[in-house]
């Protein structure tokens, strides 16, 4: 997995129109693509958002939750090391393929938004045909990884393609496109649990719902960066829908995230009679909640830079429960 800078420096709004040629306005400064990638590969890596790997983390984290929590039920297996590593590589590839598809479908919209008009397609760095080929290559490589799992996990992986295909169009027909993103981005909670255990129990479904609530939380914050441009061009989002009530809704999604996550822990540990493991797992949920509470206290929805850095900080929020769940599984 690529690393996200610990303190990413966001591009101020008044500099978006003056970014260096070829670079993307809202990518972290001095990212590895701009600094080290061969010149001919940079437009394609930017198309995959490799210059801002936060999305890969957000796609991977539900897989890590599921692997660790499922391990607390049946114990870790040697297979789980491959599962964690392959989910990381798969998240990178599928996030890249999904972003490429998103940019193909949104190229005309992106050209009208200050933050996105420097992306490879609207800026003319990549043709639509080349982007389609690049998307197919990434998806094919991800399929090779998927085929190493059991058939239930393979079926779930194939089913997720429908959500990936629909998501870019959601902002055109619903005020809740973040729901579709949540359905797609947290599918790994179901897939990884199935790959580990060969089933999708109620605990996995609760974890999936918690992930969807979390996505509604962080992607509403993300959408605030474009709220003025979105209003001008008619793009729908929960940020526009909630308006002045957005902070109340964010607190609500914050609460639902923790409730469903805690429910997943309760269901996973039910009947196991391992009180210490149960307490440690719940402590991970509580620690994630502390981080999200800190986010809410410092978030300024009227400041795009604050929204961007708060959105980025959800990588840390999502990773916090993972070691707790892993230790709980070891204790079990």
pLDDT cut 70: percent of the chain above it? 91
Nearest by Cα to 294 from 279, 314, 275? 314
* 6-10, 108-112, 272-276, 287-291: segment of lowest average pLDDT: 6-10
DSSP 96-137: HHHHHHHHHHTHHHHTTSTTTTTSTTTTTSS-HHHHHHHHHH
| CA–CA dist 28, 5 (Å, integer) | 8
| CA–CA dist 24, 47 (Å, integer) | 10
Say yes or no to pLDDT of 7 above 50: no
DSSP-derived 3-state class of residue 185: helix
DSSP-derived 3-state class of residue 176: coil
**Is the distance from CB of 182 to CB of 147 less than 8 angstroms?**
no
| CA–CA dist 36, 32 (Å, integer) | 5
> Residue 267: CB partners within 8 Å, gap ≥ 6?
201, 202, 203, 206
**Is the distance from CB of 184 to CB of 117 less than 8 angstroms?**
no
> Which homologous superfamily does the CATH classification assign to the domain defined by 32-331?
UbiA prenyltransferase (1.10.357.140)
Nearest by Cα to 122 from 138, 134, 106? 106
pLDDT in tens, 16-29: 445 666 677 777 77
The mean pLDDT of 129-146, rounded to a whole number, is 96
> Residue 219: CB partners within 8 Å, gap ≥ 6?
178, 181, 182, 238, 311
DSSP 262-306: HHHHHHHHTT---HHHHHHHHHHHHHHHHHHHHHHHH--TT-HHH
What's the chain's average pLDDT? 89
With the C-alpha atoms ordered 53, 170, 205, 160, is the resulting torsion angle positive or negative? negative
| CA–CA dist 82, 146 (Å, integer) | 12
Sequence length of the chain is 332
The mean pLDDT of 229-242, rounded to a whole number, is 91
pLDDT in tens, 147-161: 999 999 999 999 999
| CA–CA dist 59, 68 (Å, integer) | 16
The pTM (predicted TM-score) of the whole model is 0.89
Going from N- to C-terminal start, the domains of the chain cover: 32-331
> Residue 174: CB partners within 8 Å, gap ≥ 6?
180, 236
DSSP state of 173: H
| CA–CA dist 125, 138 (Å, integer) | 19
> Residue 230: CB partners within 8 Å, gap ≥ 6?
113, 223, 236, 237, 239, 240
pLDDT of residue 109: 85
pLDDT of residue 11: 41
Say yes or no to pLDDT of 15 above 70: no
Q: pLDDT grade, residue 331 (50/70/90)? A: confident
pLDDT in tens, 81-126: 889 999 999 999 999 999 999 999 989 888 888 888 888 899 889 9
| CA–CA dist 283, 278 (Å, integer) | 9
């Amino acid at each position: 997995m690529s690393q996200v800078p610990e303190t990413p420096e966001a591009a101020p709004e008044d500099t978006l129109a003056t970014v260096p040629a070829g670079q993307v306005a809202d990518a972290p400064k001095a990212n590895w693509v701009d600094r080290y990638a061969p010149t001919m590969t940079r437009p394609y890596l930017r198309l995959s958002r490799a210059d801002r790997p936060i999305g890969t983390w957000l796609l991977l984290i539900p897989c890590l939750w599921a692997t660790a929590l499922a391990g607390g039920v049946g114990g870790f297996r040697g297979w789980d090391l491959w599962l964690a590593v392959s989910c990381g590589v798969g998240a990178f590839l599928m996030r890249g393929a999904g972003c490429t598809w998103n940019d193909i479908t949104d190229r005309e919209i992106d050209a009208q938004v200050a933050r996105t008009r420097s992306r490879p397609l609207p800026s003319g760095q990549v043709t639509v045909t080349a982007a389609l080929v690049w998307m197919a290559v990434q998806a094919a490589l991800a399929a090779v990884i998927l085929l190493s799992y059991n058939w239930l996990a393979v079926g779930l992986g194939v089913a997720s393609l429908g959500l990936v295909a629909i998501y870019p169009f959601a902002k055109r027909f619903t005020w809740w496109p973040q729901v579709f993103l949540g359905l797609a981005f947290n599918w790994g909670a179901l897939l990884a649990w199935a790959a580990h255990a060969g089933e999708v129990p109620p605990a996995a479904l609760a974890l999936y719902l918690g992930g969807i609530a979390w996505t509604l939380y962080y992607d509403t914050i993300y959408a605030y960066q474009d709220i003025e441009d979105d209003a001008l061009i008619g793009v729908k989002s929960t940020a526009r829908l909630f308006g002045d009530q957005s902070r109340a809704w964010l607190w609500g999604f914050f609460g639902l995230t923790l409730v469903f996550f805690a429910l997943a822990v309760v269901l996973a540990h039910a009947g196991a009679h391992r009180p210490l493991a149960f307490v440690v797992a719940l402590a991970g949920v509580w620690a994630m909640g502390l981080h999200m509470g800190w986010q809410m206290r410092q978030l300024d929805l009227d400041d795009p830079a604050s929204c961007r850095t708060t959105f980025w900080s959800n990588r840390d929020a999502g990773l916090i429960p993972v070691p707790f769940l892993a230790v709980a599984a070891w204790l079990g």
